[in-house]
Amino acid sequence: MPLYEFHHILPLTGVEKSRLARLITDWHATTFKAPRFIVNCRFTNKLMITLRSGTGRTAEQYAGITTKLVSFWNDSIKEVQATQKEKELKDVFIMGSYDSAFERGFFLPMPGKFEEWVVKNQAEFRELASGGDEIFQDLVEELETRPEFKVANKA
């Protein structure tokens, strides 16, 4: 959670999909101050986004999200051999739902509450990382490098 789901007709390579997924993951994680491991991208020329509701996002914020994602798409498919019409991202839908989210053994907080959630769960994240869980090893590394999580590192 969240889920960015691409329904496309372009023959994207694994490298192109990975680049697009990384752009979206990094953008979502830094924009919404969330750990990267919760962001999911699926490639299945329509983009379906499911975000959690109850965040008080404005119409302008949703328009900005949509514009940013279309630009990620356009930047990522520049080199794809296809007509301009085939390259066009036809639709973007942002749907708010999922008032409860459970990932990797943790209930996720509502958007805007990730810093508190990190503080509360940091010890368990570190324990899982020490036990060899690669997702949590990446998360601990992220907590140590991202400024919005620096407060959590002092807990």
Where along the chain do its domains lie?
3-106, 113-155
**Whole-angstrom distance, CA of residue 25 vs CA of residue 37:** 8
> At residue 99, does pLDDT exceed 60?
yes
Average pLDDT over residues 9-28: 90
Of 53, 21, 48, 18, nearest to 36 (Cα)? 21
Q: Could you tell me which residues come within 8 angstroms of residue 48 by beta carbon, excluding any fewer than 6 positions away?
A: 3, 4, 5, 6, 7, 93, 95
- Which residues contact residue 65 at a Cβ distance below 8 angstroms, ignoring those fewer than 6 apart? 49, 94
Q: Is there a contact between 117 and 69 (Cβ–Cβ < 8 Å)?
A: no
What pLDDT does 63 receive? 85
Name the fold adopted by 3-106. Answer: Macrophage Migration Inhibitory Factor (3.30.429)
Return the sign of the alpha-carbon dihedral for residues 104, 6, 29, 65. negative
Give tens-digit pLDDT for 25-79. Answer: 999 999 988 889 888 898 876 777 777 776 677 778 888 988 999 999 999 989 8
Q: Provide the pLDDT confidence category of residue 151 given band limits of 50, 70 and 90.
A: low
Which residues are registered as beta bridge partners of 48? 5, 93
Percent of the chain with pLDDT over 90: 32
